[in-house]
């Protein structure tokens, strides 16, 4: 893949895939969150209202934008509705990149993050596409997470673990699902 033409995109891709240890990708780490906020918080705030097409001019910018709008809000705005505020933009960029075939030549771990907005979606159609793409990676551990997410959306039409921060009332069944460990 070509280098990202935007400096923030090149820096974010390097930070995420070369500087950050893989064990930190999904771990809660306040020091990492602070570093991400210092380095990329401004870009997230400035770019999150831009249309998806602006990030679909080249594959590297699209990949970085998916990280910026899907993963970084989850780090920078933990336990807040802001963690999900740019999900629709991340999904649109993800779908645009996949439609252009930009995912085909990526290593597995980069595909995983490109596809993540689909796994994070509360739409059943997105969950079906998520399952298709994650299953094609051939990694049962990753696929099991995609299946677990899809089961929650199929069962409840949403992710119950988000209810409190999004101001939604949980049903008793949803509370049991979260207590059983369905809170990624």
Query: What pLDDT shows up at residue 77?
Result: 96
Closest CA to 92 of 120, 73, 134: 120
Distance, CA of 156 to CA of 138 (rounded, Å): 27
For residue 184, what pLDDT is reported? 82
User: How would DSSP label each residue in 116-148?
Assistant: HHHHT---HHHHHHHHHHHHHTT-HHHHHHHHH
Residue 44: how many other CB atoms lie within 10 Å: 21
Assess contact for 23 and 79: CB atoms under 8 A: no
User: What's residue 30's pLDDT?
Assistant: 94
pLDDT confidence of residue 6: 81
Q: How far is 90 from 51, CA to CA, in rounded Å?
A: 10
CA 127, 177, 76 angle in degrees (round to 5)? 65
CA 50 to chain centre: 18
Query: pLDDT tens digits, residue range 159-170?
Result: 999 999 999 999
pLDDT of res. 5: 64
Q: How many residues does the chain have?
A: 184
pTM of the complete model: 0.94
* Block residue for tokens 């979260």: 178
Map out the domains of the chain with their CATH numbers: 1-120 (no CATH), 122-184 (1.25.40.10)
Residue ranges of the chain whose pLDDT lies below 50: 1-2
Neighbours of 160 (CB within 10 A): 22
Check if the beta carbon of residue 115 is closer than 8 Å to that of residue 130.
Answer: yes
- pLDDT for the residue 4: 54
pLDDT at 103: 97
pLDDT score, position 173: 97
Count CB neighbours of 127 within 10 A. 22
**pLDDT at residue 1 in the model:** 45
CB atoms within 10 A of CB 79: 8
């Amino acid at each position: 893949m070509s280098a990202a033409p935007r400096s923030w995109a090149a820096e974010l891709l390097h930070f995420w895939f070369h500087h950050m240890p893989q064990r930190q990708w999904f771990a809660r780490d306040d020091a990492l969150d602070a570093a991400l906020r210092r380095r990329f918080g401004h870009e997230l705030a400035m770019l999150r209202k831009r249309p998806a097409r602006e990030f679909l001019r080249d594959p590297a910018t699209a990949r970085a934008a998916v990280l910026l709008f899907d993963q970084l809000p989850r780090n920078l705005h933990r336990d807040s509705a802001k963690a999900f505020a740019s999900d629709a933009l991340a999904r649109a960029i993800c779908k645009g990149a996949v439609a252009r075939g930009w995912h085909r030549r990526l290593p597995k771990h980069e595909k995983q993050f490109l596809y993540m907005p689909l796994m994070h979606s509360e739409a059943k159609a997105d969950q079906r596409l998520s399952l298709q793409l994650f299953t094609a990676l051939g990694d049962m551990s990753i696929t099991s997470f995609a299946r677990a997410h899809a089961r929650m959306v199929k069962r409840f039409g949403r992710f119950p673990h988000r209810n409190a921060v999004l101001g939604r009332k949980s049903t008793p069944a949803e509370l049991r699902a979260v207590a059983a460990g369905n809170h990624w």
